[in-house]
Amino acid sequence: MTPAEMEALREEHARLLVERVKATELVADGWNRLHPVGTPVTYWPGRRKGPGRRSRTRSKAWVLEGHTAVVSVEGHAACVALTHVQVIRDGGAS
């Protein structure tokens, strides 16, 4: 591979990373528009398996290290990926 081809690959990789971060930011922004801090949720701190834990959000969502949309929940020190958070709808069913 020539130096020019390597540089073109690096540039394409950088462009794709920027697009991924922007898409993840859109996910976090969408969450924040729909779900204010204090929203009741069920969350899974590890694998999304079993009944999960009930809590409330204690932060707005944000993008962690450029790759994962996350939120903080009450009773859990670490942030939780939005893919592992489910809003509890009125009536208590999630």
- Flag whether 42 is in a domain: yes
* DSSP SS3 for 43: strand
C-alpha to C-alpha distance for 59 and 3, rounded to whole angstroms: 46
Q: Looking at the 3D structure of the chain, how many domains does it have?
A: 1
Could you tell me the pTM of the whole model?
Answer: 0.80
At 92 the pLDDT is: 53
Composition of the chain by helix, strand, coil, percent to 5: 35, 25, 40
Average pLDDT, the chain: 91
Half-sphere exposure (Cβ direction) of 58: Cα atoms closer than 13 Å: 12
| 58-86 tens-digit pLDDT | 999 999 988 899 999 999 999 999 999 99
Domain of residue 14, residue span: 3-87
- Flag whether 94 is in a domain: no
- Flag whether 38 is in a domain: yes
| Mean pLDDT value of segment 15-39 | 92
Q: What is the 3-state secondary structure (H, E, C) of 49-87?
A: CCCCEEEEECCCCEEECCCEEEECECCCCCCEEHHHEEE
- Flag whether 93 is in a domain: no
- Flag whether 23 is in a domain: yes
